[in-house]
A = this chain, B = another copy of it.
Amino acid sequence: MNPDEEQLYRDFEKHGLIPLWTEREGLMPMRPEPRAVPHIWHWDDLYPLAERAGDLIPVGRGGERRAISVSNPGLPGLPYATPTLWAAIQYLGPNEVAPDHRHSQNAFRFVLEGEGVWTVVDGDPIAMRRGDLLLTPGWRFHGHHNPHPAPMAWLDGLDIPFVQATDTGFFEFGADGVIDRSTPRISRSERLWAHPGLRPVSAQQDTPNSPLAAYRWEHTDAALTAQLELAAEGHGGVTEPGHAAVRFTNPTTGADALTTIRTEMHRIAAGHRTAPVRETGSSVWQVFEGTGTVRLDGDRTDLARGDLIAVPSWCEMSLRADTDLDLFRFGDAPIFERLNLARKEFS
């Protein structure tokens, strides 16, 4: 580099400027080159740590939640599963209460095991049971309480990294406890909305997020079972041979249950594998039941109940089921589908 050029680059820096021509390759790669890496966290590691936190760390105002998030090794120091998604194990001991608050970030809980906690969303107490998906769309007040003698842990998923990266989040404290300590078996939201194809006539306006707060395992399981049975009878409905899948949707629009987070349940029949696929945007999967293996950009790992898998953008992924294998999945696809940035490629 000649002295004039050196001076030019120094002057760029002095004026807060950066030339594109030295940065283009990194800034605009030929295909996504995520810093986030494919990674697996094992439930057998997570749960005991959550238990120990339950003994040592009080839950309450300020910290707000006893949630322990996974941190992608490619994003060191950041509590991010992927560049857009936050995934954590949350633990609530006997008689504990996680206080009421609300935030712009969309959230859900998915229950791997146990039961006995109620999440109270805008005053509506929602029982949490194994296999259920519970929603807390942005800006709804919510707290959790555990009126039982046994602790409970579950998966929390949020769009915290996306909201953080885009500076679009607001947060507000609510009541110190939860508003309603009753413990109904199903929520008011379900009583109004969990009827297939039915919509209250009083609900004239579509809502961006789902008004249905709980998607129960009995329905999810039945839907997956039916898809595989229909395939066995020679009819369509499965995603690919041996692979059933349902998406959780907003009944007012038929779109994803949350504006920023896609949520799905997948079932792969024993002995089947899914076609390797790459997609823009990232996902986190959790093994709900069964065993098998996942192949991520060519590397194979065994899977057991509760394991969490981070799949970065454009990572080639394929699953193989040893037993019947159920997995919950959440991802950021709704963002990119709306923006014309979604791509998908089968290998």
Contact = CB atoms under 8 A, between A and B. Distances in A.
Contacts of A71: 16-18
A164 B25 CA distance: 12
Interface string A36-77: 100101000110010011011101001111111111110001
A257 interface: yes
Which range contains the number of A residues in contact with the other chain? 35 or more
A167 B200 contact: no
Dominant secondary structure at the A interface: loop
A16 to B, nearest CB: 5
A198 B219 contact: yes
Interface in A1-32: 2, 4-5, 8, 11-12, 15-25, 27-32
Given A20-B88, A206-B254, A259-B339, A196 B199 contact: no
A160 interface: yes
A19 B254 contact: no
A166 B251 contact: no
A172 B29 CA distance: 9
B28 A160 contact: yes
Residue of A15, A71, A166, A209 contacting most chain B CB atoms (<10 Å)? A166
Contacts of A198: 215, 219-220, 223, 246-249
Contacts of A72: 16
Given A192-B230, A245-B200, A208 B56 contact: no
A212 B223 CA distance: 13
Given A230-B192, A238-B202, A49 B251 contact: no
Given A64-B24, A215-B198, A340-B208, A49 B238 contact: no
Contact of A21 (B20, B65, B194, B200): B65
B251 A68 contact: no
Given A20-B63, A194-B196, 8 more contacts: A15-B49, A20-B64, A20-B79, A36-B167, A188-B230, A197-B251, A201-B247, A338-B338
27 contacts: A11-B52, A12-B68, A16-B71, A16-B72, A17-B69, A19-B67, A20-B64, A20-B67, A20-B68, A21-B67, A24-B63, A25-B62, A28-B171, A31-B171, A32-B169, A32-B170, A34-B167, A167-B314, A170-B343, A192-B230, A193-B196, A195-B220, A197-B212, A197-B248, A200-B227, A201-B245, A259-B341
